[in-house]
Amino acid sequence: MTAMASPSLSAASEEQEIALECRNVGKDYFRHNGERVRVVREVDLKLRKGGFLCVLGPSGCGKTTLLNMVAGFEQTTEGDILVGGKPVNGPGPERGVVFQSDTALFPWLTVRENIEYGLRIKGISKAERRKRADEWIEQVGLTQHTSKFPGELSGGMKQRVQIARVLASDPEILLMDEPFAALDAQTRNYLQQELSELCRKSGKTVLFITHDIQEALMLADHIIVMARAPEKNIKAELHVQMPYPRQRMNETFAKLYNRLMDEIDNPFKGSVRSL
Amino acid sequence: MSPRRPIVRAGIVLVPFIIAIIVWWVLAAMRLVPELFLPSPLRVWDSAMQMLRSGLLLESIGVSLLRLGSGWVLGVLLATLAGWALGMVDWLRRGVQPLLFPLRFVEPVAWLSLIILWFGTGESSKLILLTYASFFGSFLYILTGVAGIDETKLRAAQALGASRWQLFSTVIVPSTVPSIISGARIGMSYSFLTIVTAEMMDASSGVGYIIKYGSVYMRMDQIFVGTILVGLLGIGIDYAFRQAAKRLGRRYFFDHI
Amino acid sequence: MKTRKVTRWKPAALLGSLAFAVLWQLAAWISGPAFLPGPVAVIKLFFVQLTTPGYLGTVLASYQRVLVGWGIGSLVGMVGGILMGRYASLGQFLYSPIQFFRVIPAIAIVPILVIWLGVGETIKYVIIGYGVALVVAVNIADAVQRVAQVRLQAARSMGAGPIRIFWGVLVPSVMPEVLKGVRGSLAFAFMSIVGIETLAAQDGVGKMIWNARVLHQTDVAILGIVTLGLMGVLADLLVQALFRLFGYRFMMRR
């Protein structure tokens, strides 16, 4: 098993189609006292069609803001975001979003109704809607729970519903904002494996935000490390060429893990006295 | 409260009231207090029966409930529509909300004086007052619900392609159902407070009027009948409301998932 | 939960108030000052009245009733609520009577109390305090029961006894709810003042509003309503200032 890690910038090969491109994207916020804070700075990235890009970074580095801008929930202060060659202008169904918070589900709709939601918005007929929803329900293993309400499901099941809901409306690109961060380790493992498999089977393009190095190494073929201000926003870039399904407990994985660990800074580094 | 067998629960509910009635009975029977101050339970019962036979009792209840019901329906309807409108238009909500704050301290019945000056003492004045009372009670509540709609849900719907109108009908409306139901209940309690006060202040019919009539002629037994009637009506309305809400809105009552 | 699209509060509120005043003035011009006096006329009346002892006395009489009733009610409600939350059996015993009395408008008892106690100030405090106490007690009892068990366990594991846990952990833990409930119940204290004053008082803002009807003084009735609103807002600001001074550490959630 050979693994290569090349820290080169914009390494996506030109002959492949680009699904998402960020050109010099920046975002400012204003504090209560009117002070201007730059949360996202000079982000350039390209994501090829069918690729799986992980944005890895500590909390507060602006990675969720970046995803929100790609999703169209927030506007960029500078730079352009292109999806399928067209500039992003507000949210749209060609970009499916899976949120970290399970409140994104509609608690008054059953599992099936939640998954049908995007299709209902598109005006697809009831029979067709149901057929497609049931396929996805089966894909994520929720067949037993179709007519339950989200409030009756566990955290892992709720995230499965979110994933199925997004995939059912067949977006060009999936935007995932730490979707597994609130789950227990076991469930997180299962869902990572399943997501990885689902994405390879369907050839979906994914932009995945996480602060978990292992998660990034399990899923991504391309990792971007983001850092907090005042450092440069994109700190390092890494192509992961391990074959799927991946395993954690081998040397290559451990090497990459340690490298990424060094890249992500610990703000308390040096402040704890060793005994 | 912890789940218990219904019969035990009914017992716990009733015990304090049974104690109160016994104390009342003993006080009245031992003539510790003059009859004028505390009529015996029997006396009050007789008085109630007399009013029932003359038709006064049922007529008063009917009149009050009719006023209450029509004003309440109108008020909650208006409050719901206004709440949704403000939920859709953020700048309007922020312009209106601070204006409403001082109104929290103005008892709805304070408007009665003005309403009478403007519209006379007829039934329409009472309808207007009660519509306001129920609007006042429910609107503040619905507005909090509207202001608290989960941003993530709105974003999820938008990312699945929902238009502005679809956002309204599939997220804003169902998200606000719990606060509308709670708001309607609060509107009901304000309406009830207002109708009783208004009938005691200025009316010639209704349950509040029974109390007022009794106090004008110093008939303590009638005052007791009226007061107990108000209590029973209040409880009955609230109970009916809770039962109805439970049946209607089950799927909307997962507070947050 | 995140907040929605950011519209600035202060300009929006200012604009809203301005729009409201303009609409009101327009309506006043159309209908004539006898039917609906405009905001300018009411403000003028306010300043004229402010110099008369009658108006100030009226306001102070109502203020005293509301604030004393509110204070007594809050205190009773606080103590009752903490006890009901702490001793579950007491809470269960009192639960249904409290629910019962909550749906009964206190104003209905006024005639009985007038015969028993006369038309003095006491019954005003009782009626106002009654509504406040019930609301505060229910909220606080609920808050006491929702205090995180882990926090109590943490205190116990560090060696705190029951009395220390009660005063040092339980009571401070429910302080945010207490402050919120006490502030919120201020509005409840205002909810029966007009009724009581019309039924059983010789003075006060409620009486002033009600008498305006007989003399066809639309402007006085409106001034009364505005006065009530201002009294409430002023009291609320005062309460908030006091909380900020003395209760800042309790305003933090968690």
3 state SS for A212-233: CHHHHHHHCCEEEEECCCCCCC
Q: Report CB contact under 8 Å: C224, B101.
A: no
Among C12, C210, C231, the residue with its CB nearest the CB of B105 is: C231
Q: How confident is the model at residue C169 (pLDDT cuts 50, 70, 90)?
A: confident
Q: What average pLDDT is seen over chain B? A: 86
Rg (CA), chain A: 19
- Amino acid at residue number B56: L
Q: Report CB contact under 8 Å: B171, A106.
A: yes
| DSSP SS3 for A199 | helix
In a domain, C21, yes or no: no
Question: E strand or H helix at C148, and its extent?
Answer: none
Residue of chain B minimizing CA distance to C211: B113
ipTM of the complex in this document? 0.85
In a domain, C2, yes or no: no
In a domain, C37, yes or no: no
Distance CA A200, CA A259 (A): 26
CB of B257 within 8 Å of a chain A CB? The answer is yes
Mean pLDDT across C12-39: 88
CATH number for C197: 1.10.3720.10
User: Domain containing A26: what range?
Assistant: 3-94+175-187+201-274
Q: Report CB contact under 8 Å: B111, C225.
A: yes
Residue tagged 């609301």 (tokens): C135
Q: Helix and strand tally (H, E) in chain A?
A: 7, 10
In a domain, C12, yes or no: no
C-beta separation of B28 from B39 below 8 A: yes
Same domain for A86 and A31: yes
In a domain, A193, yes or no: no
CATH number for A57: 3.40.50.300
- Give pLDDT, residue B251: 65
Same domain for A212 and A161: no
Mean pLDDT across B50-75: 92
In a domain, A195, yes or no: no
SS3 content of chain A, % helix, strand, coil (to 5): 35, 25, 40
Say whether pLDDT at C97 is over 80: no
For residue C158, give the DSSP letter: T
Cβ neighbours for A151, distance < 8 A, ≥ 6 positions apart = A107, B254, B257
Same domain for A109 and A16: no
Same domain for A264 and A182: yes
- Give pLDDT, residue B253: 62
Give the ranges where chain A is alpha helix by DSSP (H). Answer: 63-71, 111-122, 126-139, 155-168, 185-202, 213-219, 251-263
In a domain, C5, yes or no: no
Distance CA A229, CA A42 (A): 12
Chain A residues in contact with B250 (beta carbon < 8 A): none
Among B106, B200, B207, most C C-beta atoms within 10 A, so best to mutate, is B106
User: Domain containing C229: what range?
Assistant: 58-251
pLDDT digits (tens, 9 = 90+) for B131-152: 999 998 899 888 888 888 888 9
Mean pLDDT across C37-53: 89
Q: Report CB contact under 8 Å: B196, C108.
A: yes
Same domain for A182 and A139: no
Taking CA atoms, A30 is separated from A38, C5, C41, in Å, by 9, 14, 43
Mean pLDDT across A207-227: 91
Say whether pLDDT at C73 is over 90: yes
Same domain for A210 and A159: no
Same domain for A88 and A180: yes
Chain B residues in contact with A101 (beta carbon < 8 A): 152
In a domain, C138, yes or no: yes
Same domain for A87 and A64: yes
- Give pLDDT, residue B254: 53
Q: Helix and strand tally (H, E) in chain C?
A: 12, 0
Q: Report CB contact under 8 Å: C96, B13.
A: yes
Phi, psi at residue A73, to the nearest 5°?
A: -75, -30
Same domain for A82 and A215: yes
Subunits next to B (3 or more Cβ pairs <8 Å) are A, C
How close does chain A come to B63, measured CA to CA in Å?
Answer: 38
Same domain for A76 and A37: yes
Q: Report CB contact under 8 Å: B152, A104.
A: yes
Among A64, A70, A97, A106, most B C-beta atoms within 10 A, so best to mutate, is A106
Overall domain count for chain C: 1
Write out the DSSP string of B61-88: HHHHHHHHHHHHHHHHHHHHHHHHHHHH
In a domain, A192, yes or no: no
Q: Number of CB pairs < 8 Å for B and C?
A: 177
- Give pLDDT, residue C254: 47
Say whether pLDDT at C5 is over 50: no
- Give pLDDT, residue B255: 46
CB neighbourhood size of A183 (10 A): 19
Q: Report CB contact under 8 Å: C190, B106.
A: yes
Chain C residues in contact with B96 (beta carbon < 8 A): 16
Same domain for A141 and A57: no
In a domain, A196, yes or no: no
CB of C127 within 8 Å of a chain B CB? The answer is no
Q: How confident is the model at residue A4 (pLDDT cuts 50, 70, 90)?
A: very low
Reference C196, options B229, B196, B222; nearest CA is B196
Same domain for A125 and A62: no
Residue of chain B minimizing CA distance to A104: B153
How close does chain C come to B106, measured CA to CA in Å?
Answer: 6
| DSSP SS3 for A98 | strand
